[in-house]
């Protein structure tokens, strides 16, 4: 899968310079926790039949770090039923599958 520079420029990016040192340290710990994970191809991480559980775990932990009061159960439900299918659809349209 190849995205053009225009695609990358339109994606929202977290402004890490606005985060506290504590949050940055927590995100660093998460990075280390998942550094050796085996990730499937990006489109396969989000499709309903093949949602990668490590992807769900990473996303939930990052969100919990950034928003400690988040409801994990509701958020996981949103990821699986709404966000990931949208991402999968977008990836399919970009790669023409």
Model confidence at 27, pLDDT cuts 50, 70, 90, reads very high
Percent with pLDDT over 90 in the chain: 57
Cα dist from 67 to 35, 45, 46, 83, whole Å: 22, 23, 22, 17
Instruction: Check residue 68 and report its DSSP letter.
Output: T
Residue 6 to residue 78: CA distance in whole angstroms: 28
Predicted model pTM: 0.79
Whether the CB-CB separation of 39 and 52 falls below 8 Å is answered with yes
Note the pLDDT tens digit of each residue in 31-65: 999 999 999 888 888 887 778 999 999 999 999 99
Whether the CB-CB separation of 85 and 48 falls below 8 Å is answered with yes
Model confidence at 13, pLDDT cuts 50, 70, 90, reads confident
């Amino acid at each position: 899968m190849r995205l053009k520079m225009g695609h990358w420029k339109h994606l929202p990016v977290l402004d890490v310079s606005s985060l506290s040192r504590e949050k940055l340290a927590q995100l660093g710990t998460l990075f280390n926790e998942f550094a050796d994970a085996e990730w499937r191809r990006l489109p396969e991480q989000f499709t309903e039949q093949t949602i990668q559980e490590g992807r769900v775990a990473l996303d939930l932990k990052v969100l919990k770090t950034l928003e400690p009061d988040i409801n994990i159960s509701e958020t996981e439900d949103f990821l699986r039923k709404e966000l990931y299918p949208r991402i999968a659809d977008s990836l399919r349209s970009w790669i023409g599958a």
